[in-house]
Amino acid sequence: MQHAQPAGVDPDVVDFAVVGKWMDEQGLPGGTFEEVRALGGGTQNIMLRFTRAGHDYVLRRGPKHLRAKSNEVIRREARLLGALDGTGIRAPRVIAACPDESVLGAVFYLMEPITGFNPQNELPELYAADPEVRRQMGLSAVESIARLGMLDYEQLGLADYGKPDGFLERQVPRWLGELDSYAANAGYPGPQIPGVGAVGDWLERNRPAQWRPGILHGDCHLANMMFEYERPRVAAMVDWEMSTIGDPLLDLGWQIATRPEPGSTIGSLTGALGSVGGLPTPAEMVAHYGEFSDRDLSAVDWYTVLACFKLGIVLEGTYARAFAGKAPQQIGDFLHACTLELFERAHQVMG
């Protein structure tokens, strides 16, 4: 069967003749590709939504110019999402995956489209008009990560998905090393982040002695979640690129660290939601997490500081790359402001 390339889609990114042949081989319904459109505005991974034989699909692959780990990231995502299917975790459902990059030139998978909205892009009237709805929205996000962290990852076939041994011990040296590596970007003046060393030292001194491994989303702020239009409930957690087997309480710390507050730079990451507030307090988030998890929550402050530390260093990477012309300067400056704010939050939590 011939598969015509839809107009406006670069065949070097997604060759629909190849995709069509591959779908036919998977036993998926054949026919013409219709209503093809790009999803998301990011510069990271590529997502195309299309209809074929009356069925809706989203194709996900790495960026046009693949990075060193792009194929492995997509391969891991597809594996994890496949393992989560049937667990009740709100995540995209994989229809079929192609882990062999030689087929399309990049690893890709097909998933079912998600019906819902991303708060980074829009805030429906139901949410915009009622702070209680926004509070319930935040609590639903907390419930989602709590339930994820309670899954038996070994039973799901994910025993080798991460390296939980020494996970907490690795964090500070791992991310300080990442920060040091940014010096390779020409023109970067170095990390002008007050108190980086002090935060790292505090984390090392106060590291929890005991913890239990589980599935970690790794980047579970509200902009990486989609919500139902009709009620304040997570429709799906998306963007699982940083997922691993580690300490799931870092996800809780991450949500607290990135909680959108009106007037904050970090708040603007979630669009209109960041300017209106009404989300649950950190204390409410911790209490709600405890309703769906039996984990020891006595060291939540430590995980919140670690989240500020790790995410702040991750965002600083774009700032460093902007000096070398590898990222837009305006975005780099904005993310650097977020980094400074995250480290301010870390110091506030440390006391």
pLDDT digits (tens, 9 = 90+) for 255-309: 999 999 888 999 988 888 999 999 999 999 999 999 999 999 999 999 999 999 9
pTM exceeds 0.85 for this model: yes
Sequence-distant (≥ 6) Cβ neighbours of residue 75 within 8 angstroms: 97, 99, 107
Residues 164-220 pLDDT 10s:
999 999 999 999 999 999 999 999 999 999 999 999 999 999 999 999 999 999 999
Distance in angstroms (rounded) separating the CA atoms of residues 279 and 265: 16
pLDDT digits (tens, 9 = 90+) for 315-335: 999 999 999 998 899 999 999
Nearest CA to 316 among 298, 303, 334, 299?
334
pLDDT band for 68, please (50, 70, 90 cuts): confident
Predicted confidence at residue 9, as pLDDT, reads 81
Would you state the pLDDT for residue 291? Answer: 98
pLDDT at 340 over 80: yes
For helices 249-257 and 300-323, what crossing angle results, to 10°?
A: 60
Cα 1 → chain centroid: 38
Closest by alpha carbon to 213, among 149, 261, 287? 149
Residue 330 burial (CB count, 10 A): 9
Report CA-CA distances (Å) from 326 to 1, 195, 319, 339. Answer: 42, 27, 9, 19
Please list, residue by residue across 112-137, b when 16 or more beta carbons sit within 10 angstroms of its beta carbon and e when fewer do. ebbebbbbbeebeebbeeeeebbbbb
| The pLDDT value given to residue 305 | 98
Q: What angle do CA 96, 48, 317 make, to 5 degrees?
A: 100
Tens digits of residue pLDDT in 27-58: 999 999 999 999 874 447 899 999 999 999 99
Tally of CA atoms within 13 A in the half-sphere of 139 that contains its CB: 18
**What is the per-residue pLDDT for 238?**
95
Number of Cβ atoms within 10 Å of the Cβ of 219: 20
pLDDT digits (tens, 9 = 90+) for 231-261: 999 999 999 999 999 999 999 999 999 999 8
**What pLDDT, on the 0 to 100 scale, is given for residue 11?**
84
Nearest to 252 by CA among 287, 284, 300, 204: 300
What per-residue confidence (pLDDT) applies to 3? 66
What pLDDT shows up at residue 2? 52
